[in-house]
């Protein structure tokens, strides 16, 4: 049976569900339908991320990420507590692994204060008392007490419960195949046609493809990077009290190998940031789309040729970490007592959906919103999208309310055969 909706949200990750919830709060009398191409929640980014509720320390002051991250962390922590979900309030230590990272540590400290993030500089004795297992190449470290670790797999069903209680509907196994923008029709892979007033694209790893079907955001394409982890053997004798991150190199887009203690106590080390050969290429050859291989390879070669954002150094550094000896080398810089046998294979793997700007030949560092005819598209929703989801949903709805060319959220007035009004 064909249906219609005032608001059609594409993607049931944490961003899509948060937007659906906010839409129903603001427009209780209008219908909201969420499409999810998978048969269950959390199969991709929202269910595979580290679960870290980031503090907002890293992001450029004034950026959308900086403005939303700190508030989002507080709201997501409250959501965990209200729903009785596991939450680990452990704080984070940033440790320089090389003496030349002292300058970067100062930059991060200043950026933290600009972004309203609580941070404290520790001397060697204070660091040793907080985390005896790590070391600092400069004798100092940064302490970020607000950082916590949540449980992504538990958040999504709890959030869906709130969304459905407000009256929104989720349709699983509903992959968007095509769009008739003029008639406001979404055509699913099943052949079903849906009429909509306004479509909001929160499709994550598929967001650029969805946007292109609306004729929007054609300058952008998703460039996937794979995040592989190792698990710390509980018998290693290494006990961590907090998250431990290296102070990153200035200008490098990724944070480096770090520790994450999950809500169940499991300690992971990682992730890597190596190119993936498909949007859902988690393991081996699975998830590789031969049609996209030339595009991905071409964009990587372009970035290497231009050396944008220190890409050559990053590619060399991260590429080696696919192999255990080089991964171990990076991890041991944080944990001197670590031995190769302490690293155990982990099933945990994620993808960083980085947005590539074809016109500028570089990766985009902030969230991107692109408005189209009868549609709004969320592109580049990588970290800290998980942390920022709740205030980000309000930002999206504020954007819609303030749009210079508002789109009526009512079903298409054009008669469409087989669709109810």
Which domains, from first to last, does the chain contain?
1-90+149-219+360-421 (3.50.50.60), 92-145+220-357 (3.30.9.10)
Task: Kindly report the backbone phi and psi dihedral angles of residue 236, in degrees, each rounded to the nearest multiple of 5, phi listed first.
Answer: -70, -20
Q: Would you say 65 and 124 are in contact if contact means Cβ atoms under 8 Å apart?
A: no
Confidence tier at 251 by pLDDT (50, 70, 90): low
Share of the chain above pLDDT 70, in %: 95
- Whether 351 contacts 276, CB under 8 Å: yes
SS3 for 236-291 is HCCCCCCEEEECCCCCCCCCCCEEEECCCCCEEEECCCEECCCCCCCCCCCCCCCC
Q: Does the structure show a pLDDT above 70 at 420?
A: no
Indicate left, alpha or beta for 139 from its phi (over 0: left) and psi (-120 to 50: alpha): left
**pLDDT value of position 403:** 75
Report d(CA 318, CA 252) in Å as an integer. Answer: 11
Residue 15: enclosing H or E segment and its boundaries?
helix 14-26
DSSP 88: B
Q: How many CB atoms within 10 Å of residue 1?
A: 6
Average pLDDT (242-254) is 84
How far is residue 193's CA from residue 393's CA, in Å, rounded to a whole number? 26
pLDDT at 418 over 50: no
- Taking the C-alpha atoms of residue 387 and residue 391, their distance in angstroms, rounded to an integer, is 9
pLDDT at 51 over 70: yes
Q: What is the pTM of this model?
A: 0.92
Number of Cβ atoms within 10 Å of the Cβ of 351: 25
Cα–Cα nearest to 229, from 351, 363, 374 = 351
357 Cβ contact partners less than 8 Å away, ≥ 6 residues apart:
219, 220, 363, 364
Query: What proportion of the chain, given as a percentage, has pLDDT over 90?
Result: 72
CA distance 201 to 177: 13
**pLDDT reported for residue 253:** 65
pLDDT at 382: 85
Specify whether the CB–CB gap between 65 and 40 falls below 8 A. Answer: no
pLDDT surpasses 90 at 306: no
Cα gap 30→39, rounded to integer Å:
26
State both tokens at 309: 């954002």
Rounded CA-CA distance 368/313 in Å is 26
- Report residue 313's pLDDT band, with 50, 70 and 90 as the boundaries: confident
155: left (phi over 0), alpha (psi -120 to 50) or beta: alpha
Structure tokens belonging to residue 66: 């900086």
| Residue 289 confidence (pLDDT) | 86
């Amino acid at each position: 049976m064909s249906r219609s909706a005032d608001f059609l949200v594409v993607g049931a990750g944490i961003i899509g569900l948060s937007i659906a919830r906010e839409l129903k709060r603001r427009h209780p009398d209008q219908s909201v339908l969420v499409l999810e191409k998978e048969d269950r929640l959390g199969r991709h980014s929202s269910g595979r991320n580290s679960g870290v509720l980031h503090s907002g320390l890293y992001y450029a002051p004034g950026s959308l990420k900086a403005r939303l991250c700190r508030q989002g962390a507080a709201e997501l922590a409250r959501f965990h507590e209200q729903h009785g979900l596991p939450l680990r309030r452990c704080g984070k230590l940033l440790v320089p692994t090389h003496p030349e990272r002292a300058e970067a540590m100062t930059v991060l400290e200043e950026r933290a204060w600009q972004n309203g993030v609580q941070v404290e500089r520790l001397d060697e004795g204070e660091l040793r008392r907080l985390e005896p297992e790590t070391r600092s190449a400069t004798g100092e470290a940064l302490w970020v007490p607000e950082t916590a670790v949540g449980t992504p797999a538990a958040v999504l069903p709890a959030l869906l419960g709130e969304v459905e209680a407000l009256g929104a509907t989720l349709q699983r196994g509903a992959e968007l195949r095509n769009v008739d923008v003029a008639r406001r029709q979404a055509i699913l892979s099943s052949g079903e046609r849906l009429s909509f007033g306004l479509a909001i694209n929160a499709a994550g790893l598929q967001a650029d493809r969805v946007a292109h079907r609306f004729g929007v955001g054609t300058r952008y394409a998703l460039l996937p990077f794979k995040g592989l982890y190792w698990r710390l053997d509980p018998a290693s004798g290494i006990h961590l009290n907090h998250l431990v991150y290296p102070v990153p190199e200035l200008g490098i887009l990724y944070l480096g190998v770090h520790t994450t203690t999950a809500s169940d106590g499991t300690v992971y080390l990682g992730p890597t940031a190596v190119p993936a050969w498909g949007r859902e290429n988690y393991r081996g050859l699975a998830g590789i789309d031969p049609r996209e291989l030339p595009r991905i390879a071409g964009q990587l070669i372009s970035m290497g040729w231009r050396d944008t954002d220190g890409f050559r150094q990053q590619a060399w550094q991260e590429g080696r970490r696919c192999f255990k000896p080089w991964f171990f080398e990076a991890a041991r810089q944080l944990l001197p007592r670590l031995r190769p046998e302490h690293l155990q294979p982990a099933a945990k793997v994620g993808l960083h959906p980085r947005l590539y700007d074809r016109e500028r030949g570089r990766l985009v560092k902030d969230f991107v919103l692109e408005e189209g005819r009868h549609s709004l598209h969320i592109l580049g929703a990588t970290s800290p999208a998980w942390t920022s989801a709740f205030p980000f949903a309000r930002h999206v709805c504020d954007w819609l309310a303030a749009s210079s060319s508002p789109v009526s959220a009512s079903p298409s007035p054009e008669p469409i055969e087989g669709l109810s009004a």
